[in-house]
Amino acid sequence: MSRSGAQDTLAGRLQDLRARLPEGTHLLAVSKGQPAAAIREAVALGQRSFGESRLQEAIAKQSELADLQPLDWHFIGRLQANKARGIVRHFGTIHSLDSLELARRLDRIAAEEGRSPAVLLQVKLRDDPAKTGFAPEALRAAMPELRDLPAIRLVGLMTILPLGLESAERRAAFQACSALAAELGLPELSMGMSGDWPEAAAAGSTWVRLGTALFGSRPPAAPGTAVVTAPG
């Protein structure tokens, strides 16, 4: 009965986003901070790819959702060396590989676990002390060794822009990332969040990572995870 109608429900927001995303740009539903019930609702609406940034939280929700058809889980958080094995076991795609040292470790663990995760390399296009990632030059230098790691599949680049850029600056940064991926022959581009996805999609993003634009606001990140269980 509200004025904005469809925007008030997950179904409405999902439908609206699907209509606006260009062909070739996939929606990664960022479900961090959301209960398993919200994921279940999105699955019922046809969404299958979900992004999580905390391992323990993801494991808890994955087990709550074990009755569903296998979902497509993407790890988008800071990759910590001591969590690498759990991440390899619980995610098919990793968006946030940000150093050669971690790549070697991930490769060794993936081989031990008999898995071959799809990996995107996080790049830092602008100075941002709050973000990790390969600078473009460092990435070019690391590529020969990265390509030789047998157990991880390098599929693309991922970037997170600093806050506070003008739209034109965001567009330019996303285009630079897109050009770098093309130069390196990597097909996937994980770019764009709730606040900047239209520019990312225009620059060729293949995965926009949307949390609040889809699920609404989430509680602030906390070390523990309270997962609310839906009845039924």
Q: Which residues here bind ligand PLP, judged by CB under 6 A?
A: 30, 32, 53, 76, 160, 193-195, 209-213
Residue nearest ligand PLP, CB atom distance: 211
- Phi, psi of 10, deg, nearest 5: -60, -40
Terminal C-alpha separation, the chain: 27
Under a CB-based contact definition with an 8 Å cutoff, are residues 161 and 129 in contact? no
Closest distance of CB 1 from ligand PLP, Å: 27
State in angstroms the smallest separation of the CB of 154 from ligand PLP: 19
In this structure, what are the phi and psi dihedrals at residue 96, rounded to the nearest 5 degrees? Answer: -130, 40
Least Cβ distance, residue 180 to ligand PLP (angstroms) = 18
Contacts 24+ apart (CB under 8 A), 19-22: 20/198, 21/201, 21/208, 22/201, 22/202
CA distance 109 to 87: 10
Q: Which is nearer to ligand PLP, 15 or 194 (CB)?
A: 194
Query: DSSP of 99-125, one letter per residue?
Result: -HHHHHHHHHHHHHHT---EEEEEE--
Q: In the structure encoding, which two tokens stand for residue 28, read together?
A: 């990664």
Q: Which of 124/151 has CB closer to ligand PLP?
A: 124
CB-wise, 62 or 151, nearer to ligand PLP?
Answer: 62
Between residues 60 and 111, which has the closer beta carbon with respect to ligand PLP?
60
Q: How far is the CB of 67 from ligand PLP (least distance, A)?
A: 26
- Residue 193 Cβ vs ligand PLP, minimum distance, rounded to whole Å: 4
DSSP H or E stretch at residue 208 = strand 207-210
Residue in 228, 212, 222, 211 with CA at minimum distance from that of residue 50:
211
Shortest distance (Å) from residue 73 CB to ligand PLP: 14
Q: Tell me whether residue 76 or residue 125 sits nearer to ligand PLP (CB atom).
A: 76
Q: Least distance in Å: CB of 15 to ligand PLP?
A: 17
Residue placing its CB nearer to ligand PLP in the complex, 151 or 210? 210
CA gap 22, 143 in Å, rounded: 30
Closer Cβ to ligand PLP, 187 or 195, answer by number: 195
